[in-house]
Chains A and B, each alone.
Chain A
Amino acid sequence: MLLNEMLLLGAVLFCIGVYGVLARRNGVLVLMSIELILNAVNINLVAFGAFHDNVMGQIFALFVITVAAAEVGIGLAIVLLLYRNRRSIDLDQVDLMKG
């Protein structure tokens, strides 16, 4: 198996995730896209770990999973708060920082 197979898959997933983050208006869908990005990173970490025959890659992937779990928790709480205040989670309407 080639190292690049994994890495390229990771790159593709990453870009799909980036597209999702930029193109989606729904808060929950944006969070899902972020999950795609994080998983793409994990694929890279584990692939490099296996490539160098080193468990470090796995350990960092585990840390990323943990942090992602925390991020989802906080992110969904924020989305929930947003919904409660505006009855909508359309991110286009969240533009208080408009210049």
Chain B
Amino acid sequence: MIAEHVAFGIIAAVMVASALRVVTTRDIVHAALYLVIVLAGVAALFLLVGAEFTGITQVLIYIGAVIVLFLFGIMLTRSDFDQDEETDHKRKFPAILTALLLLAVMIGALVDRFGDMELDAAPQTTAEVSDELFSQYIVPFEAVSVLLLAALIGAIVIARREEGG
């Protein structure tokens, strides 16, 4: 039990620190790399609570695909590699206020409601997930696949260069 707490603590600390760097660093590539750490931390947490399939998927999809997509996006939208453009707004106060207010409300609600409930992480196998996904949730599953297809086509249509332009 203690080991679990320690592992969680380390992962959580690294994640929070990296997440803060994601939203504060001035170098976009660095931000993407910090994001990788956060996402890996999320995957580790999933494994910690026994959600193995989602953890693996997290690694494959996010770290494997989404980050690569981000790096491509960064590459394509940065013509010169100097830092002439500001990455942040000048006035950060409203953003900080909003985030802190939200945090306060959420922490208050969570502590109030869930106090010290125990989470016993019984592993949920991939077989269970797939059984459920392909019976009960087959329609949402198909809908999501259509959504992905639509997004794929949409992205191509949006990003395609106009002919002759």
Contacts and interface: CB of A to CB of B under 8 A. Distances in A.
Nearest to B77: A83
A81 interface: yes
A1 to B, nearest CB: 5
A62 to B, nearest CB: 6
Contact of B115 (A4, A26, A68): A4
A67 B125 CA distance: 23
Given A13-B19, A19-B23, A20-B22, A90 B86 contact: yes
Q: Is the interface of A mostly helix, strand, loop or mixed?
A: helix
Interface residues of B, number: 86
A70 B69 CA distance: 11
Interface residues of A, number: 72
A43 B45 contact: yes
A7 to B, nearest CB: 5
A80 B159 contact: yes
Interface of B: 1, 4-5, 8, 12, 15-16, 19-20, 22-23, 28, 31-32, 35, 38-39, 42, 45-46, 48-51, 53-54, 57-58, 61-62, 65-66, 69-70, 72-74, 76-77, 79, 85-89, 92, 94-96, 98-100, 102-103, 106-107, 110-111, 114-122, 124, 128-129, 132-133, 137, 140, 144, 147-148, 150-152, 154-156, 158-159, 161
